Every structure is written in structure tokens, then in C-alpha cells.
């Protein structure tokens, strides 16, 4: 059965056990998941990628169906689903799952998808399509967030953020978090700073520096540092860009452990990886171990704390860290 996003508040959640969320608006998916399912839930919440679930399906399904005396209620969230999981869900839809809710999440499911059709035709199953937000709605969300944090951005700055959001409020949230983290005491940020700070594919300054850092390309790092007249004020932006891309790479490496298909892992990454970046990311996966990258992320946070207390020497501190990764 199809349920629109604005109708879910009227839905009696307790009457249904299996849900399918699909569509590119990942931000709205997460908002509804938290608001309607997980925020006030006192039971056990388990999260899996589709491949991870399929590799352990017999055990996981057995645990769902066989109750123990002390079992609490469960929510099982399976992300990045496709028709590969169709047979498992079809079988589960015919079983009794009174204490378990299964929530499937997918970015895209075509109309001919067997999984999508199963949910649309079965009145015991709920499917919710998550379409891209309109620009005017995203604008309102940004204004609300800025007012809440007493921060001012120009109309051009807001429109720039919206252009890069691809209709997904999760992207908006990520960009605003970067901006809010940078703002500190400066409650009005100029357009030029927003251009540098937001994750723009054509911004070859900070993004290229971050890519070369993660590719361990010391020659290019030195070249960029020499050719760009970076200031002490740019240092936090540089660190935040490297930190953001490092966390994204860590997420890819962690998911790649459960999948033999790196291209698929990269293509399913959110926010989407610009096509020109994909070869760089593939290389970065090969030059970092999960342990080393986690250590480097901690080091970036440490460097940022140092920079905040040594603002006059920020550029030297950051340059030394980047070159001697």
C-alpha cells in the first residue's frame, strides 16, 4: 500500500510491520524514520546494509521469527535495498512479526521493481516514496535553521546551497552544519566564504587539496599550497573540508568490507560523489587502512583545536600537517 509522506502522521504504525522507504530525498527519509519510529522507541534497533543482511539472512530471519522469553521489541533497518532482497521480504510478509518492525531503505527503485510492486499491491505492507523537495521548501528550511542559530546569509548564498542540494534536505543539513561550525562568533558570513565552504564540484581549491591529501600526493599538495595565497582565516575551512572527505572515505571503506563491488559502494554514497571524483576515491580506498584513517581523523580534530588557540600561526601549522600526512 502506498502512503504519501504527508499522510504518515495519520497512519497507525502499530498495525503494520514492514515498510519500504525509497527515493532520493534521504534527509526526509531519516527525519520520518526518527520522528515516527526510533526517537521514542525503547526496544532493540539493528541496522544492516542489504549485502550484510543477505549474507546472514538465515540467522537474522530465524531471530526475527523465534521469540525468546526475554525478547524486547525490535526495529530492523536495512539500507540500500534492491530486488536482491525481494524473496526474503516476500517470505517475511507471510509470517507473524508482532514484535518486530522491518524498515527497508532505498535511494532508487524503478516502477518495474519487484520489491516496489510487492509493497504497492499488498495492503499489509507500507511503501513511502520520498521525492525531492522543491526549492521554495528548501529555502524555508534554511531560513528556519539560520534564524534558530541567529545566523545571516545573503539570498545568493542560500540559493547557492539549494543548487548544490539536489533536492535532498540531508545535503542541506550537511552544508549548514559545516557553515554553523565555521560561524563561531561571526554571525554573518559572506558569499565568497560560502563558495569555499560548500562542497562544490568545481571548487578546486580546498576540495582538490583534500583529495590530494587523501591520495597521499605530496607533489600536488605542495604545488597547491605554493600557488594559492591562503590566509590564516582559511585554515579552518581547509581542515573542515579534509575532515568531511576523510569521514566520507572512512564510510566507504567500512561499507566496502561488506561488499566486493567498490563501484556500487561509491555510486550509492550520499551525498553523491561527482563523477570526476570517483577515480580519486578508488585510489584513496587503496592507500588508507580503516585504522590509519580513523587515527588521521582524530589528528585533524586535534589540529583544529590547536589552530583555534594559535590563529596567527595557523597556516604554518596546517600546511605542515598536510604536507607531512
Going from the N-terminus, what domains does the chain have, and what CATH number goes with each?
5-129 (3.40.50.300), 137-323 (no CATH)
SS3 244: helix
Count helices and strands (H / E) in the chain.
Answer: 16, 5
**Tens digit of each residue's pLDDT (9 = 90 or more) over 225-277:** 887 777 777 788 889 889 988 999 999 999 998 887 898 898 888 766 766 67
CA 140 – CA 223 distance, rounded (Å): 41
Strand pairing category for 126-129 and 18-22:
parallel
Angle subtended at Cα 25 by Cα 94 and Cα 209, rounded to the nearest 5 degrees: 130
**Tens digit of each residue's pLDDT (9 = 90 or more) over 71-88:** 678 999 999 899 999 999
CA quadruple 246, 251, 257, 261: dihedral positive or negative?
negative
SS3 47: strand
Q: Name, in order, each residue with C-beta under 8 angstroms of 184's C-beta and a sequence gap of 6 or more.
A: none
Q: Name, in order, each residue with C-beta under 8 angstroms of 95's C-beta and a sequence gap of 6 or more.
A: 65
pTM: 0.57
Contact 200, 207 (CB under 8 A): yes
Amino acid at each position: 500500500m502506498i502512503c504519501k509522506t504527508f499522510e504518515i502522521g495519520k497512519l497507525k504504525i502499530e498495525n503494520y510491520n514492514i515498510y519500504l522507504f525509497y527515493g532520493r530525498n534521504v534527509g526526509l527519509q531519516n527525519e520520518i524514520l526518527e520522528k515516527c519510529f526510533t526517537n521514542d522507541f525503547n526496544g532493540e534497533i539493528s541496522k544492516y546494509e542489504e549485502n550484510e543482511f543477505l549474507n546472514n539472512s538465515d540467522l537474522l530471519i530465524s531471530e526475527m521469527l523465534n521469540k525468546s522469553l526475554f525478547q524486547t521489541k525490535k526495529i530492523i533497518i536495512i539500507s540500500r535495498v534492491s530486488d536482491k532482497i525481494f524473496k526474503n521480504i516476500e517470505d517475511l510478509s507471510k509470517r507473524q512479526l508482532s514484535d518486530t518492525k522491518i524498515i527497508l531503505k532505498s535511494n532508487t527503485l524503478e516502477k518495474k521493481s519487484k520489491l516496489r510492486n510487492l509493497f504497492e499491491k499488498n495492503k499489509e505492507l507500507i511503501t513511502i516514496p520520498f521525492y525531492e523537495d522543491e526549492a521554495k521548501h528548501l529555502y524555508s528550511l534554511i531560513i528556519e535553521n539560520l534564524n534558530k542559530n541567529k545566523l545571516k546569509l545573503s539570498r545568493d548564498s542560500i540559493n547557492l546551497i539549494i543548487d548544490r542540494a539536489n533536492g535532498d534536505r540531508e545535503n542541506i543539513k550537511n552544508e549548514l552544519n559545516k557553515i554553523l561550525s565555521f560561524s563561531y562568533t561571526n554571525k554573518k558570513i559572506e558569499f565568497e566564504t560560502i563558495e569555499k565552504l560548500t562542497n562544490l564540484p568545481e571548487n578546486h581549491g580546498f576540495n582538490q587539496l583534500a583529495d590530494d591529501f587523501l591520495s597521499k600526493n605530496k607533489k600536488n599538495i605542495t604545488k597547491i599550497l605554493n600557488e594559492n595565497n591562503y590566509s590564516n582565516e582559511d585554515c579552518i575551512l581547509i581542515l573542515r573540508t579534509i575532515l568531511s572527505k576523510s569521514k566520507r572515505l572512512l564510510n566507504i571503506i567500512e561499507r566496502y568490507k561488506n561488499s566486493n563491488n567498490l563501484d556500487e559502494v561509491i555510486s550509492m554514497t550520499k551525498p553523491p560523489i561527482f563523477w570526476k571524483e570517483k577515480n580519486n576515491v578508488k585510489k584513496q580506498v587503496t592507500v588508507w587502512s580503516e585504522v590509519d584513517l580513523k587515527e588521521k581523523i582524530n589528528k585533524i580534530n586535534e589540529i583544529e583545536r590547536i589552530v583555534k588557540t594559535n590563529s596567527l600561526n595557523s597556516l604554518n601549522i596546517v600546511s605542515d600537517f598536510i604536507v607531512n600526512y
